[in-house]
């Protein structure tokens, strides 16, 4: 039994076997490169005239499209994601306020707990010579 979805896989196989790009195959049969891409992805179904032109450009008989394709997996949509470098956990650090060694959850962590962060901020703001914000100058 011939299945209609075989056409796109067989078209891709036959084009690859002939060593042609989509643009070269399109020029050979009088179709645009995007039309070949749509036929290969199944977004467009071929007419009989298109099937004849493709077969002639590939140098195969028309029944070559009716044969069962080799096992192919469906490609994912869109551009493949880039390979990401392996992430290592951050190195243990000493708290800037109390000096306790801790394992930070983020690379930018500088304090072992929120209480130390607040205390360090208050100490920084209480330094003499630092202008105060607000009404009094």
Residues 49 and 56: their CA atoms lie apart, in Å, by 11
DSSP code per residue over 8-44 = HHHHHHHHHHHT--HHHHHHHHT--HHHHHHHHHTSS
* pLDDT value of position 110: 85
- Phi then psi for residue 102, to 5 deg, are -140, 160
Residues 23 and 45: their CA atoms lie apart, in Å, by 18
Q: Is-contact 56 66, C-beta < 8 A?
A: no
Residues 85 and 4: their CA atoms lie apart, in Å, by 42
Burial pattern 73-105, b for ≥16 Cβ within 10 A else e, equals eeeeeeeeeeeeeeeeeeeebebebeeeeeebe
* pLDDT value of position 19: 92
**Residue-range domains of the chain with CATH:** 6-66 (1.10.260.40), 93-125 (no CATH)
- 89 Cβ contact partners less than 8 Å away, ≥ 6 residues apart: 103
* pLDDT value of position 36: 93
Residues 105 and 69: their CA atoms lie apart, in Å, by 50
pLDDT in tens, the chain (137 residues): 668 788 888 999 999 999 999 999 999 999 999 999 999 888 999 999 999 999 999 999 988 888 888 877 666 778 878 888 888 888 888 988 888 898 888 778 888 888 888 888 888 888 776 666 665 55
């Amino acid at each position: 039994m011939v299945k209609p979805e075989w056409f796109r896989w067989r078209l891709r196989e036959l084009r690859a076997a002939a060593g042609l790009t989509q643009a070269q195959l399109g020029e050979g049969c009088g179709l645009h490169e995007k039309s070949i891409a749509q036929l290969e992805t199944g977004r467009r179904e071929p007419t009989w005239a298109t099937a004849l032109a493709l077969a002639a450009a590939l140098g195969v008989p028309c029944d070559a499209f009716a044969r069962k394709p080799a096992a192919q997996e469906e490609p994912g949509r869109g551009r493949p994601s880039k390979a990401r470098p392996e992430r290592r956990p951050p190195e243990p650090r000493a708290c800037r306020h109390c000096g306790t060694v801790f394992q930070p959850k983020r690379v930018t962590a500088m304090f072992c707990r929120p209480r130390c962060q607040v205390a360090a901020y208050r100490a920084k703001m209480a330094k003499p010579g630092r202008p105060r914000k607000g009404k009094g100058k």
